[in-house]
Amino acid sequence: MVMREPWANNLHPDTVSPFTIPAAMPPGPLLAIQDLTVAFDGVSVLRGIDLSLDRGEALGIVGESGSGKSVTWLAALGLLPSFAAVSGRVTLEGKDLLNAPAADLDRVRGGRVAMIFQDPSSALNPVIRIGRQVGEVLARHQGVSGGDIRAEATRLFELVGLPDARRRFDAYPHELSGGQNQRVMIAMALAGKPDVLVADEPTTALDATIQAQILALLTTIRTETGMALVLISHDLGLVAESCERVVVMYAGRVVETAPAQEIFSNPRHPYTQGLLAALPPFEGPLRRLVPIDGQVPDPSRLPPGCPFAPRCTKREPLCETAVPPLVQAGFGRLSACVAQTPSYVRPEKDRVLA
C-alpha cells in the first residue's frame, strides 16, 4: 500500500494533506460533548459538561485539581475505569463515541483523537523499547509494518526534537529524561495522525525550562499539522498563551468559556477573576498576588447553590440556593454566574441547560 506521507502539507505541496478538510466534511464541530456526567461510586464528579471543539482549534481547559477537567476527556475517550458511571453524549463528526463498539472506539483512540498525560515517565511502558511503543501506533493506525516502522518512528523522534533520534528507537523509558519521555509521548500521539491531540497537564511534571520547550513543540506541531489541540492545565497563564479559546471548569462544571485574550482582559466569572488575580502579571509593576480563599468543595458534599459561592467575594443570597446555568455573556462567551444573568429565573430543577 502507498504510505501517506505524514505532515505532507509541509513537505509536498501537491499531495493532499490528511489534515486539509475535504469539501464533504459534515458541518458542525469536530468533537462535541453534550451533558456529560461522570459519577464514581455514586459521587458525581462531572455534572453536565457541554463543550465543542472545532477542526484545528486550540482549546484550553483550566481548573483546580478535582474540577473534572481530565475526567471530561478520559470519559469522552472511554478511558475511565469500569466502575465510573458515564452518561451524556460525545460525538466525533456526529458519530457517538460513548456507546460505540470497542473496535470503533479503538480506531478513534490514537487514530483520530490522541492523548498525552501528565507524568510521561509512568505513562510509557517501562519494559518495552520506546521505538516499539511508537511502532504500535504506526502499525495499528497507519498500516506501517516491518522495517518501515523503524524508519518512520525515527522520523517522528526527529520531528519532536528527541536528541540522537536514530539511536533512541531501542532505548527504554528509564534511559530518557522526563522531557524526552514527553517528546516520545508526543511522537507516539502524532504517529496516528490524529485530528485532535488532548494534552492532559503535559508539562506539570517537568522542569520549568522543559515546560516551555514542550509547549513550544505542541504549538509548532499544531500549526504545522493543523490538528486541534486540547490543552488541560491548572495554569491559566500557560493555557491562555497557547490556546485560542479557554474553558474554565469548577467542581465538575463549566463556569466560563471565552476567547483567550478576552479571558485575560475581561474575565466574567468571579472564579476566573480569582484565578487571574492569583497569577503573576506578565508585564507592568509587580503586585501582591491574591489567592482564592478556601478549597474546592468535596464532590460528595457540594453546596446546594453555586459550587463556588462559599469562596466567592461577590456572593448574593440567590447564589446559596440555585445553581446558575451557563448563559451567553457576550460574543462567543458563556458564563455561569448569577451576576451576569439579570434575566435569571430560579430554576425548577437542579440543573438548567443554557
Partner 1 sequence: MVRYLLIRLLRAFITITLVVTFAFIVLRVSGDPAISIMGDNASPEAMAAFRKEWGLDQSIFIQYFNYVTAIFQGDFGHSMRGGGPALDLVVSRIPATVMLTLPALLLKVAIGVPAGIYAALHHDKSLDRTVMVTAVAGYTVPSFVLGLLLVQIFALWMPLLPTGGTGELSHLILPVLTLGIGGAAILARFVRSAMLEVLGQPYIRTANAKGIPWGAVVRAHALPNAAIPTVTIIGFMVGSLIAGSVVTESVFSWPGVGNLLVVSVTARDLSVVQCILLLVAATMVLSNMFVDILYGILDPRLSNANSEGR
d(CA 115, CA 305): 34
Binding mask 38-77 for partner 1 (x = CB under 8 A): ------------------------------------x--x
d(CA 250, CA 66): 8
Residues 317-346 that bind partner 1 (CB under 8 A): none
| Nearest distance, CB of residue 86 and partner 1, angstroms | 15
124 binds partner 1 (CB under 8 A): yes
190 binds partner 1 (CB under 8 A): no
| Nearest distance, CB of residue 294 and partner 1, angstroms | 30
Binding region for partner 1 (CB under 8 A) out of 36-44, 135-143, 246-254, 327-335: 135-143
For the beta carbon of residue 42, count every other beta carbon within 10 angstroms: 7
Sign of CA dihedral 54, 96, 329, 242: negative
174 binds partner 1 (CB under 8 A): yes
192 binds partner 1 (CB under 8 A): yes
State the DSSP string of 287-354.
----PPPS-PPPGGG--SS-TTGGG-TT--GGGGT-PPP-EE-STT-EE--GGG-TT----SSS----
3-state secondary structure of 11: helix
Binding region for partner 1 (CB under 8 A) out of 24-32, 36-44, 110-118, 272-280: 110-118
Among 1, 2, 127, 345, binds partner 1 (CB under 8 A): 127
110 binds partner 1 (CB under 8 A): yes
H or E element: which one contains 262? helix 260-265
Size of the site for partner 1 (CB under 8 A): 35
Q: Tell me how many helices (H) and strands (E) the chain has.
A: 12, 12
89 binds partner 1 (CB under 8 A): no
| Backbone torsions φ then ψ of 200, nearest 5 degrees | -90, 100
d(CA 345, CA 354): 12
For the beta carbon of residue 27, count every other beta carbon within 10 angstroms: 6
125 binds partner 1 (CB under 8 A): yes
Among 93, 119, 241, 262, binds partner 1 (CB under 8 A): 119
Contact residues for partner 1 (CB under 8 A)? 74, 77-79, 83, 102-103, 105-111, 114-115, 117, 119, 122-128, 136-137, 140-141, 172, 174-175, 185, 188, 192
